[in-house]
Structure formats: structure tokens, C-alpha cells
Chain A
Amino acid sequence: MSNAALLSVEDVAVDLPTARGNLRAVDRVDLALGAGKTLGIVGESGCGKTMLSRAILQLLPKKAKLTGRVMFDGQDLARCSAETLRKLRARSLAVVFQDPMTSLNPVLTVGTQLIETLQEHLELDALSARRRSVELLAAVGIPAPEQRLTQYPHQLSGGMRQRVAIAIALSCEPKLLIADEPTTALDVTIQAQILDLLAREQKRRQMAMILITHDLGVVAGRTDEVAVMYAGRVVERAPTQILFKQMHMPYTEALLAAIPKLDTAPHTPLPAISGRPPDPTRPLKGCSFAPRCRYAASRCEAEKPLLASAETASHQYACFHPIKLAAGVGA
């Protein structure tokens, strides 16, 4: 990892106190992201993806406890004062949420929401803020942007709303954009458009992006690096191409196998991952994926595997029985 990383998450853990005991939502995660790069975070529901993104933004629920360091642009976000944090969020961080139905204010027009954000952040006067909003809406592919300004979120379709949310996120020219499942609530046909839009704007603006998703297909062509999360931990991390070429973690393999393929015969059962993720309030002694893993041995249940480097330093995985895909394909 280069030292000039824009964002580096160091040993971050998030604990949520619940009625059933302490819930460790994020378990000692290390990540780094350079300026202008894209990191994909993949994992199934409840594996801590969103909590990790909230931890980066310091927007965790009040009761949550965060340990570790979140270094952004040379500052530790976890130890910033509320005011510095607010200014930092205003200038360099932005988020796009999963559900555009709820991430826009229902009683304010699109224009109000956009123009006010611009006036606040870039200190523009009303007229130039308006002009800028029209440009932004046009940039995110909204037809007739002038008219959209006067409309309320409920008058727009889901895809349009997500575009507006992206426009608001881009409005303050962030250095880092966190897209938390930006396409989960959308139609498949719109998904690709939104992802392409994000990729295009990311390139144009040279911003770093964290793309959180449960769909390996989404990260495949659009990220520089992928981190696979399971039960709050990063279990495999690699540059995207390497990950797809030779994955080492059985969980990654199982995730990939669970993607429906076009060329299989109809009615072929989809290879699902059996069982359920472990109860996060009762941490397992060994590897958290062991109960569902087909390679699991006795050691996996007794000892927790740590992230170790594979062939290259950039490829890390946490498994005692890494699969050797290149060799194992035929066998």
C-alpha cells in the first residue's frame, strides 16, 4: 500500500450493544484507498458493509462504539471535533444511499435540495447555484433538468431519484464518494446506467469511490480493488482482476458460484450457500465461515485464520485451506 492513500481504515471495529449482548458489526478491518481509485466491498446482507461505510463517515448510531483509526487525507476522522468533521464531510466526502425513495427529503423540491446544498458548500449566489444545478442534473443524465428543479421527489421515478441523489452527492466535488448499494433498489436495466454514470463521473472528477454491493457482478468491471466481507471481517482482498482469476477464499468462490449464469440449462438449481451467517452476538472461536464451508477441517473450527498475503502483497485472504483455482479447475 502506498503511503499517500487518501483513505486508510486501520484496525477498525464497530461494536453495537444490543439486548442480546454485544454485536460486533465490523471486526478489525484494514483497508486503504488511493485518490481516484475504486474499491468494491462485497458481502451478503448483514456482513457489516454498511456499518463499515458509516464508520468511515462517522455516522454510526449513537450507541455504537468505534475503535481503530480512520485516516482520511491525513486526519483521523474518529478523533476529529464535530465541527472539523462537518466541514470535512461538506467538502470532501459524499454518500449515495441504497434507497433513493428515502434519501431525498419528500417535502422539498429537487431544486431546493440541490440549490441549497450548492449555496451552502460553494457559496454561490442563488442564480449561479441554479445554473450549476441544471448543469449537474444534465450531467447525471436527467432530461429537461430545468423542469425537474420544480418537482418533488415523489414525482420522479426510482432511477431519476437516484440520479438526483448522485447529483447532490457530486455537488460539492468530493474527494471520496461512498456508494452504499446504489443500485439495489433499482431495476436491472437502470442499474447498469447508474453504475456507468458513477464510473464516468468518478473518472472525470478524479475522485475515489467505495462501491458497496452484494453483487460480485457489479464490482467486476468497475473497481480497481475488491474486498470481500463476511461476518464483519474482510476475508479476501485483491485487485479486481486477480480476484476473479484466482480467488483463494472459499466464500468468494461460493459467492461467485451463486450468480445466475446465462449459459446454464434452464431449471438448473442455483448453487446457493447453505446455512446462514453466524449470529454476530456470539462470535465463533474459529473461522466464521467454517460451518458453511465445504473445505472446512477441524483446524478451521478451533482457530481464526488471519489475513495473509498470497502471491502478491496486494492479494490477501484469511483461510487455512485456500483454493487453488488455477490448478483446481480440472480436478
Chain B
Amino acid sequence: MATLDLTIGEDVAAVPARRKRRLGRLFWAAFGWMIFVFAVALLADVLPLPSPTDMDMLERRAPISAEHWLGTDGLGRDELARLVHGARISLVVGVCAPVIGLTFGGALGMLAGYFRGRFETFVVGSMDVLLAFPPLILALAVTAYLGQSIFNLTCILGVLSIPAFMRVSRAATLTLARREFVIAAQAIGASHARILLRELLPNVMLPLLVFFLLGVAVIIVAEGALSFLGLGVPPPISSWGSMIGEGRESLEVAPQLAFFPAIAMFLTVLSFNLVGDALRALTDPRQGAL
């Protein structure tokens, strides 16, 4: 019989090894694509690409070649250059708009969930009004009045995303504010500001950040839809949505003109969703355990 080895390791008191969290290849592939798209968008001006707005009327809808890697569009503009510059618009709008939602929605939700009372009723009520308002009509109205620009587009989409962020942060704050560690913080004399910023914010931030990543994906699609309808960025600036819209006209002759931006958008949105999901899976068990 083998003897049981009951000696306890001497390093019991040592720091327990930080458990490696497994993220999987899919996560890293998605993360890699995100980084790639960001890098390309950032370096768009430095990259050896033809101008995205220079038209070459002799080479309209050119096929894939060494000169034009992804061919040219209906006006003879280099498709790859437009795709790369379009990534800029899509990402700027896709990231900035949820940042607006995260900041305002997150703050409003935390204040509403922590202080409750009339303030909460007011915030939730006004968010319900905003939610009930048809988003497309709002976008139309604002672009009609203020004109088409990236800034306006970002603001519209940002404002529209506030209610969702508010709900996520309020729900998280509501459950957390009842927990004993908040009472414990009050009991040792922490101020409201301190409890909100130092005790609650780190807890609420996790679900908010995950929701933020999912929000980026939604906003990229929304920006695409608005650009497709002609409400997005003004031409000749390219964004993925407007490229799909322009490609639609020559779908029979040159289907790649709509497909390339569509694939780019599909992969990017999928990446954001996958990364967001993986991060949520990471943060969830810990929330549940405590």
C-alpha cells in the first residue's frame, strides 16, 4: 500500500497563485481583430494608401489588382483606402457615442439607485420618455436642423444610448447599495461622494464596461444603418454604412463593393460582442461568489 502523503506544503502562507483565467482562442482572435482595426484606423494617414476621395473615372469598379488591392468603387475611388478611412468614422462614432452613454447614463443610474426617492422617479421617468421616442425620427430631426456631421451623429447616438446605460447602472447600484459593505462604509464615516466613487463605482464599473463593449457593437451597426439611409456622415467621407449604401447601386455588377465593408463591419461587431461576452463571463462568477 502506498502511504498517504499528508505533509502540508511549507508555502501555505505564501500568496496563492493567481489562477489563470482561460479566455480561449476565439477571444484572442476577436481581440486581435479589434486591435488590428484600431491600429489601421489610427494609422490610416501614414499607411501607403491612395487617397480615399481621389476619383479615377477611367477605372470605375475595377477588379482586385496590385494597384487597387480591393478594386475601386463606382466613382473609381480605391476601395481599400475607403474601407480603412471608413473604419475611422465607424470606430470614432462607435466608441464615442457609448462613452457619452456610459458617462451620463452611468452617473445618472448610480445617483438614482443610491439616493432613490423623487430623483430616481424623475430620472427613470425621463429615460422612459427618451426610450419611447422613435430614435430614427430623432436622428432625422437633429440632422435636418443641425446638419450632417460626425459630431452631430455621435451626439445623437450617444444620447440615445443613455437610457440603456442608466438602467444597467441603476440596477447594479440598487442591489449593491443594500449590501453590508456600504453600511459598513457609512458606519466608519464615509461621505456620500466617497461611497459612490470608491465603494460603488468599482463594483458598477464591471457590468457597465461589459455593456459598453456590447454598446459599441450596436452603435457601429446603428451608424451603418443611418449612413445607409443617408443620414450619417456627409459624402465624400466614407463610413462602412455609407459604403454599403453606395455599393447597393451596383450590386449586380460589382457585389464586392457592398460585401467588403459589410464583412469588415460584421467581423468588428462580432469581435466586440465576443470580447464583451468573454469579459462578462470573467466578471460574473466573482460577483456571484460574494
Contact = CB atoms under 8 A, between A and B. Distances in A.
A57 B203 contact: no
A102 B182 CA distance: 9
B290 A94 contact: no
Contact of A106 (B183, B190, B287): B287
A97 B180 contact: yes
Contacts of A151: 15
Nearest to A107: B202
Given A87-B189, A121-B189, A107 B206 contact: yes
A145 B262 CA distance: 55
A101 B198 CA distance: 18
B179 interface: yes
A253 B202 CA distance: 49
A94 B188 contact: yes
A144 interface: yes
A128 interface: no
A86 B199 contact: no
A101 B290 contact: yes
A169 B202 contact: no
A169 B180 contact: no
B198 A116 contact: yes
A73 to B, nearest CB: 15
B286 A106 contact: yes
A62 B120 CA distance: 15
Interface in A85-137: 86-91, 93-95, 97-99, 101-108, 116-117, 120-121
A103 B32 CA distance: 39
Given A89-B187, A107-B206, 20 more contacts: A57-B187, A62-B116, A86-B190, A89-B186, A89-B189, A90-B189, A90-B190, A95-B183, A95-B188, A97-B183, A102-B179, A103-B180, A106-B287, A107-B286, A108-B202, A147-B13, A154-B290, A165-B184, A169-B188, A172-B188
A168 interface: yes
B191 A86 contact: yes
A144 to B, nearest CB: 5
A150 interface: yes
B233 to A, nearest CB: 39
Interface string B194-206: 1000110011001
B129 interface: no
Contacts of B187: 57, 59, 89, 93-95
A172 B187 CA distance: 12
Given A89-B186, A154-B286, A103 B202 contact: no
A143 interface: yes
The main secondary structure of chain A at its interface with chain B is helix
Contacts of A101: 290
Interface of B: 13-16, 116, 179-181, 183-191, 194, 198-199, 202-203, 206, 286-287, 289-290
Contacts of A159: none
Contact of B183 (A59, A147, A169): A59
Nearest to A161: B290
Contacts of B198: 108, 116
A153 B290 CA distance: 9
Contacts, number: 87
A16 to B, nearest CB: 15
Interface of A: 57, 59, 62, 86-91, 93-95, 97-99, 101-108, 116-117, 120-121, 143-144, 147, 150-151, 153-155, 165, 168-169, 171-172
A87 B186 CA distance: 11
A120 B189 CA distance: 10
A117 B188 contact: yes
Nearest to B19: A155
26 contacts: A62-B116, A86-B190, A87-B189, A89-B187, A90-B190, A91-B189, A94-B187, A95-B183, A97-B183, A102-B179, A102-B180, A103-B181, A103-B183, A104-B181, A105-B202, A107-B202, A107-B286, A108-B198, A108-B199, A120-B194, A121-B188, A143-B13, A144-B14, A150-B15, A172-B188, A172-B189
A90 B188 contact: yes
Nearest to A98: B180
Nearest to A143: B13
Contacts of A62: 116
In the A-B complex, the 9 residue pairs with the smallest Cβ-Cβ separation, listed nearest first, are: A90-B189, A106-B290, A89-B189, A102-B180, A103-B180, A95-B187, A107-B202, A144-B13, A147-B15
Contacts of A171: 188
Nearest to A165: B184
B181 A147 contact: no
Contacts of B181: 102-106
B188 A168 contact: yes
B184 A95 contact: yes
B9 to A, nearest CB: 14
A106 B203 contact: yes
A103 B184 contact: yes
Contacts of A117: 188
A88 B187 CA distance: 10
A91 B189 CA distance: 8
A87 B16 CA distance: 38
Contacts of B189: 86-91, 93, 121, 172
Nearest to A93: B187
A108 B286 CA distance: 12
Contacts of A94: 187-188
Contacts of B188: 89-90, 93-95, 117, 121, 168-169, 171-172
Contacts of B191: 86
